[in-house]
Amino acid sequence: MGERHREIVIAGGGVAALEALLALRALAGELPRITLLSPEPDFVLRAGGVLEPFARGTARHVPLALICAAHEAQLVADRLVEVDPQDKAVRTAAGRDMPYDLLVIALGAIERSPFPGAIAFAGRPQDRDAFAAVLVEAREGSIADLVFAVPAGASWPLPAYELALLTAADLSERGARGPHIAIVTPEERPLEMFGSAASDDVERRLAESNIELCTLSRPREHVHGRLEIDGGTGLPADRVIALATLAGPAIPGLPCDEEGFLPIDDHCRVRGALDVFAAGDCTSFPLKQGGLAAQQADAVAGAIAELLGAGGPAEPFRPVLRGLLLTGDEPIYLRAEPEPEPGAGHGPRSVAIEEHASFGLGRPVPGIAATRPLWWPPAKVAGPYIGAYLARPQEPGAQPTRLEDREPHVEAASRRELQAAQDLALMMAEGDARFGDWHAALRALEAAEALTGSLPPQYAQKRDLWRAELAGRPGSTYLGG
C-alpha cells in the first residue's frame, strides 16, 4: 500500500495546507511527492491583521514558492473547482486534470456579511481598511456609540474582544474621548469555551476599559442608529463591527452538509470519499480557528504517514484550544483541552467544549488564562509545526520542530518589567543586525515578541527585512536605527 500512495495533492494555501505539508515531511520524510495547489502566491497569516489598523503590527506574508522549495513540494498556481473521486483527479479553474493518490482539501471557508448594516471583519485587507476608517472617526470624536458584535453563526469570537480592547487602548493612549464601546455576543460569558478563569480575566479587562458587555444577545440588524437584537431589544450604535459568518466551499464531486462543509471522521477523512482528507475551516467541525485547523492537518498527516508505512498508528484529531488575546496592554494566553463526553463516540463532534449559546458543543471544561506564554514558540496561530516554522528562520533541510505546551508561571511579571525586558531584547536585536548576525537578531525578536504578544510596528517590518537578508534575498540594505 505504501508504494501505491505516493502522489499527494494539497488544495489550499492557508494554515491547514501548510501545516499538512510540514507535518507530512516531518512524519513521512521524502517518501511522498507533494503538490500544493493554490491560486494565491503568498501564505498570509490573517490572525495578526487585527493589529494593522492600530499600527501595532502587520499580517505576515510568506511566498508559498519559498515554503514549497524548502520542503520539496511542487507549487501549482491554480484553483480547485471539482473533484472526481472515482478517477482520483482534481480539476482546476485553468482546465487542468491533476491525478492524485491521496487528496487533502484545505480550502478554508467562504466569508459572508453577518447581518444588514454591519461592517464585516474577517481579517481581509478590505475589512482592515473599513475598520481603519471607523477608527479615524472614533479618534476624531465624530461617532458616539461603537459596537463590536459576535453574530449567531460566528464560530470564533476572540477577534471581537481584541478589536474592542485595542480600540479602547488606542483612544486612551491618544487622550481621545472617543465613543462609548460595547460588545454584543450570544455567549453567556466572554470566551467561555476557555473556561471560567478566562471569562473572569476578560470581564475584568472590559470593565477597566469601560467597555459594556451584552451577553446572551443575538444581533439581528443595524438600522437607524441602533443595533437590533433578537427578542425586541437593542442598543445605540453609530457603527457596528461584526465578525463575518462562514459557509463551506461545497466542492462538486464531494459530499457536504447543508452549509457546504465537508463531513469528516476523527482522522479527518472525508466521509463517503475514498482517499480524500480535509482540514481547517472547510470541514464540518463547528469551531473555525487556525490552531484547530493545524491540529486537523496533523491528524491528516498522521493518517497518511500510516498509509505510506512511514509511521505507527495514527492519532485521531483531539482538539486543544489555544488562543492569544491581544489587548493593547499585556496579552492573555488561553488554553483549554476538551474531554470526550461520557458514552459518546470518537468523532470530532463528541468533543466537549464550554457550552455556548452560539456553539452548543457540550459540557464545561477547565481552562487556563495567563499573561505568560502557555506554549512555545508563542505564535498567534498555535499550530504544532507551522507555529514553530513561522516563529524562527528555518535552514534548508532542517528537521521541523514542534510547538510545546508550557505551564503558567506562578508569579506574573509586572507590565513595567515585561516592557523593560522587551526593550532589552530589541536593543540586542539591533546590535546583532548591525553586525549582520541575522540568526541572533531574529532570535532576539522572537524573545521580544514572546514577552508582550506583539512587536512594535517598526520591528515587525525589520523582522521581514532581516529574514530576507538571512535567506540571501535582501530587498534593501539594513542601516540600523
Q: What is the pLDDT of residues 400-438, one digit of tens each?
A: 567 888 877 544 455 566 677 777 778 878 877 887 888
Are 75 and 68 contacting, i.e. CB atoms less than 8 angstroms apart? yes
Same domain, 80 and 168: no
Three cell numbers written together for 178 = 472617543
Q: Looking at the domain assignment, is residue 28 inside a domain?
A: yes
Same domain, 116 and 213: yes
Look up residue 66 and give its amino acid: L
Domain end marker among 263, 284, 307: 307
Residue whose C-alpha is closest to residue 108's, from 49, 178, 38: 38
pLDDT value, residue 418 = 63
Q: Looking at the domain assignment, is residue 366 inside a domain?
A: no
Output the CA–CA distances (angstroms, integers) from residue 62 to 46, 160, 389, 452, in the order listed.
12, 26, 11, 23
Three cell numbers written together for 465 = 527585512
Q: What is d(CA 471, CA 465) in angstroms, rounded to the nearest whole number?
A: 10
How many CA within 13 A on the CB side of residue 256?
Answer: 19
Q: What is d(CA 424, CA 430) in angstroms, rounded to the nearest whole number?
A: 10
Q: Looking at the domain assignment, is residue 386 inside a domain?
A: no
Q: Looking at the domain assignment, is residue 91 inside a domain?
A: yes
Same domain, 41 and 81: yes
Angle at 17 between CA 15 and CA 23, to 5 degrees: 95
Q: Looking at the domain assignment, is residue 315 inside a domain?
A: no
pLDDT value, residue 345 = 36
Q: Looking at the domain assignment, is residue 294 inside a domain?
A: yes
Q: What is d(CA 380, CA 334) in angstroms, rounded to the nearest whole number?
A: 11
Q: What is d(CA 414, CA 459) in angstroms, rounded to the nearest whole number?
A: 23
Are 184 and 227 contacting, i.e. CB atoms less than 8 angstroms apart? yes
pLDDT value, residue 302 = 95
Same domain, 62 and 184: no
Dihedral angle over CA of 417, 460, 241, 128, nearest 10: 170
Q: Return contacts of 207-211, CB within 8 angstroms, 24+ apart.
A: 209/164, 209/165, 209/168, 209/169, 209/172, 209/181, 210/168, 210/181, 211/164, 211/165, 211/168, 211/181, 211/182, 211/183
Same domain, 183 and 291: no
pLDDT value, residue 474 = 47
Residue whose C-alpha is closest to residue 13's, from 152, 119, 112, 106: 106
Q: What is d(CA 162, CA 331) in angstroms, rounded to the nearest whole number?
A: 10
Domain end marker among 279, 307, 335: 307
Same domain, 284 and 171: no
95 torsion bin: left (phi>0), alpha (psi -120 to 50), beta (else)? left
Structural domain harbouring 58: 7-109+248-307
Q: Is the bond into 32 cis (omega within 30 degrees of 0)?
A: no
Distance, C-alpha 340 to centroid of its chain: 24
Are 282 and 109 contacting, i.e. CB atoms less than 8 angstroms apart? yes
Q: How many helices (H) and strands (E) does the chain have?
A: 10, 25
Using the CB atoms, write b or e for 158-169: b if 16+ within 10 Å. bbbbbbbbbbbb
Q: Looking at the domain assignment, is residue 451 inside a domain?
A: yes
Angle at 321 between CA 318 and CA 325, to 5 degrees: 165
Same domain, 237 and 135: yes
pLDDT value, residue 20 = 97
SS3 189: coil
Q: Looking at the domain assignment, is residue 354 inside a domain?
A: no
Same domain, 147 and 241: yes
CATH number for the domain including 276?
Answer: 3.50.50.60
pLDDT value, residue 399 = 55
Same domain, 135 and 177: yes
Same domain, 135 and 103: no
Same domain, 199 and 238: yes
Per-residue pLDDT of the chain (481 residues; tens, 9 = 90+): 444 458 999 999 999 999 999 999 999 888 899 999 999 999 988 877 788 888 776 677 889 999 999 899 999 999 999 999 999 999 999 999 999 999 999 999 999 989 999 999 988 888 889 999 999 999 999 999 999 999 988 889 999 999 999 999 999 999 988 899 999 999 999 999 999 999 999 999 999 999 999 999 999 999 999 999 998 889 999 999 999 999 999 999 999 999 999 999 999 999 999 999 999 999 999 899 999 999 999 999 999 999 998 878 999 999 999 999 999 888 899 999 865 544 333 333 333 233 333 333 444 457 889 888 888 878 788 888 998 887 765 555 455 567 888 877 544 455 566 677 777 778 878 877 887 888 778 877 877 776 666 777 788 778 878 888 887 754 433 333 3
State how many domains the chain has.
3
Distance, C-alpha 199 to centroid of its chain: 20
Domain end marker among 219, 245, 271: 245
**308-344 tens-digit pLDDT:** 988 789 999 999 999 999 998 888 999 998 655 443 3
Three cell numbers written together for 228 = 437590533
Same domain, 16 and 95: yes
pLDDT value, residue 354 = 31
What's the whole-model pTM score? 0.83
